[in-house]
Chains A and B, each alone.
Chain A
């Protein structure tokens, strides 16, 4: 099962620019998480935001959550070539993680 949409599906930016990815979901959630995946590899947990939180920061990452619109955004500031990866949101409801479609981010040096 798939929880919702992410946009854009692909994003290409220059190093130093900010990257914003959006995620929408369908059901009520306990929390929403963002993960990163390098090509063909496992997942790296980036940040978790609870349903009663609206914004959260971690280093160069900023996540927002709007439960009324059932949407979230991930902002990566001052991007680096090493940030090139796929980024997925995942909603935690009912004790399991359901992933969005993902955004493929390419940061050009």
Chain B
């Protein structure tokens, strides 16, 4: 149980375009979801926390106008990278809080901006 499905797994886009990444909770309701970014050979950096029906809370240094997060339902959270540039190329992973101490992760999206 407690599976988060993340799509797409890989995406290549042109510089200046926008890309949407989706995370769906398949068998539970995700009231809180987290978005992380991971550059090669580095750790996961928390970008933002989203709660269903309210605005996302962004970590310091993350541009909220560039990384749009929508958590309009209890089963879907989306991250849109707007006006993507090559430096946005990274591995993006979503996570959902399922219970105290319990988090489940999506399988990640490899974004390449060319």
Give how many A residues have a beta carbon under 8 Å from the other chain's beta carbons.
23
Quick one: which of B43, B46, B100, B104 contacts A101, CB cutoff 8 A?
Answer: B43
Number of CB contacts from chain A to chain B under 8 A: 55
Q: Is the interface of A mostly helix, strand, loop or mixed?
A: strand
Interface flag for B29 (CB, 8 Å)? no
Quick one: which of B36, B43, B101 contacts A50, CB cutoff 8 A?
Answer: B101
Give how many B residues have a beta carbon under 8 Å from the other chain's beta carbons.
25
Q: Is the interface of B mostly helix, strand, loop or mixed?
A: strand
Interface centre among B43, B45, B49, by most A CB within 10 Å?
Answer: B43
Determine the chain B residues whose CB is within 8 A of the CB of A31 once the complex forms: 101
Contact A97 B46 (CB under 8 A): yes
Determine the chain B residues whose CB is within 8 A of the CB of A43 once the complex forms: 44, 93, 105
Chain A residues within CB distance 8 Å of chain B: 1-2, 30-31, 33, 40-43, 45, 48, 50, 88, 92, 95-102, 104
Q: Could you show 8 A-B contacts with beta carbons less than 8 Å apart? A: A42-B108, A45-B105, A92-B103, A95-B32, A96-B46, A97-B34, A101-B43, A102-B42
